[in-house]
Amino acid sequence: MGNGFLLIEREEMELYRTALREHGYREEDFDLSERSDPLPCAWIMAISGEAVIKCIKTGKTRYYRAGKGSTWPVEFYNDLKDGAFGTP
């Protein structure tokens, strides 16, 4: 993948950054992390979990389902549009 995440794909990172720019935010305004769902065996790689996004300024945090087939970048875009994290 090349972005340091297991669940979050490179294309999703680009959509995340685009959403921030289009709504007047900087990447430094947010903390993006991921949380993998528990696995039945230690040797199986994570295939689902959550993208956790926190606005540094407001402290507001949202959790989005992540992994194959998820739509978290679109949900995040809509949350920014709707003011869920406050204003830039």
Distance, CA of 16 to CA of 56 (rounded, Å):
16
Q: What is the pLDDT of residues 2-60, one digit of tens each?
A: 467 778 999 999 999 999 999 999 999 999 999 987 766 666 665 789 999 999 999 99
pLDDT at res. 1: 41
- Give the mean model confidence (pLDDT) for residues 70-86: 97
